A and B are shown apart, each in its own frame.
Chain A
Amino acid sequence: DTGVSQDPRHKITKRGQNVTFRCDPISEHNRLYWYRQTLGQGPEFLTYFQNEAQLEKSRLLSDRFSAERPKGSFSTLEIQRTEQGDSAMYLCASSLAQVTGELFFGEGSRLTVL
């Protein structure tokens, strides 16, 4: 399977706990994106990497959120001191920078904060 994989698919946590999501992109893709999607809404951009460099961060990404892509391969998104408003689907996508701009999405990690 050479698609984008995300782990875990589902996470239930209590308010105040830290959570970490992992994304493994398609191996030859140098761009990696994180989006957040709440029920009934479209995906909202959070951040993206080109190789290991984090090139853009949304204002939605508060200081409780941090994303890394240390070796330009997999990426992690950590949320510290979770709040109920963080409950959402966190989507990862990857692409090749030089071509059409089509994004390949993973199945998402659904976070529920109690």
Chain B
Amino acid sequence: SQQGEEDPQALSIQEGENATMNCSYKTSINNLQWYRQNSGRGLVHLILIRSNEREKHSGRLRVTLDTSKKSSSLLITASRAADTASYFCATDGLIQGAQKLVFGQGTRLTINP
């Protein structure tokens, strides 16, 4: 079962614009991660934000986390055609012994040149 839900399911923007994707989850977490997947390929880790952090930056990526709302957002600034991919949020659980990541259904991002 999928814990996270991304919104929107698909997003199409012009190169240079900013892209924002949202993720909501259901249970308490240790951390939340964002991954990227190019079509037909494996997933690549982008960024991890811990439950006691509210915002994190990495290059053109900005992630926020609101644990009271059980939600996160991923902002990609100054988008490029190469950013076209699917983006997934993933959460772990605070349940003792829960060591797996549970992924959302993803946002398909298309950057138009």
- Which A residues have a C-beta under 8 Å from some C-beta of B? 4, 31, 33, 35, 40-45, 48, 50, 55-56, 91, 93, 97, 100-108, 110
Q: In the complex, A35 Cα to B43 Cα: how many Å?
A: 11
With A101-B30, A101-B31 as known contacts, state yes or no: A56 contacts B45, CB within 8 Å.
Answer: no
Give chain A residues whose Cβ lies under 8 Å from the Cβ of B45.
102-104
Give chain B residues whose Cβ lies under 8 Å from the Cβ of A104.
45
Q: Are B44 and A105 in contact (CB under 8 A)?
A: yes
Residue B25 at the chain A interface, CB threshold 8 Å: no
With A42-B88, A43-B88, A100-B31 as known contacts, state yes or no: A33 contacts B100, CB within 8 Å.
Answer: yes
What are 27 A-B contacts defined by CB distance under 8 Å? A35-B103, A41-B2, A41-B105, A42-B4, A42-B88, A42-B103, A42-B104, A42-B105, A43-B103, A44-B1, A44-B103, A45-B100, A45-B101, A48-B99, A56-B100, A91-B42, A93-B43, A100-B31, A101-B30, A101-B48, A102-B33, A102-B45, A103-B35, A103-B101, A105-B42, A108-B40, A110-B40
Residue B92 at the chain A interface, CB threshold 8 Å: yes
- Number of residue pairs A-B, CB distance < 8 angstroms: 64
Give chain A residues whose Cβ lies under 8 Å from the Cβ of B101.
33, 45, 101, 103
Map CB proximity to A onto B48-62 as digits: 1 under 8 Å, 0 otherwise.
Answer: 100000000000000
Q: Are A42 and B44 in contact (CB under 8 A)?
A: no
Interface class of chain B by DSSP: loop
- B30 → A minimal CB distance (Å): 7
Of the candidates A35, A44, A93, A102, the one having the most CB atoms from chain B within 10 angstroms of its own CB is A102
With A42-B104, A42-B106, A44-B2 as known contacts, state yes or no: A103 contacts B43, CB within 8 Å.
Answer: yes
Which residue of B is nearest A55, CB measured? B99
Q: Are B43 and A43 in contact (CB under 8 A)?
A: yes
Q: In the complex, A27 Cα to B48 Cα: how many Å?
A: 23
Contacts A101-B92, A107-B42 known; list 15 others, CB within 8 Å: A33-B101, A41-B105, A42-B106, A43-B103, A48-B100, A50-B99, A56-B99, A101-B48, A101-B101, A103-B33, A103-B101, A105-B35, A105-B42, A106-B42, A107-B41
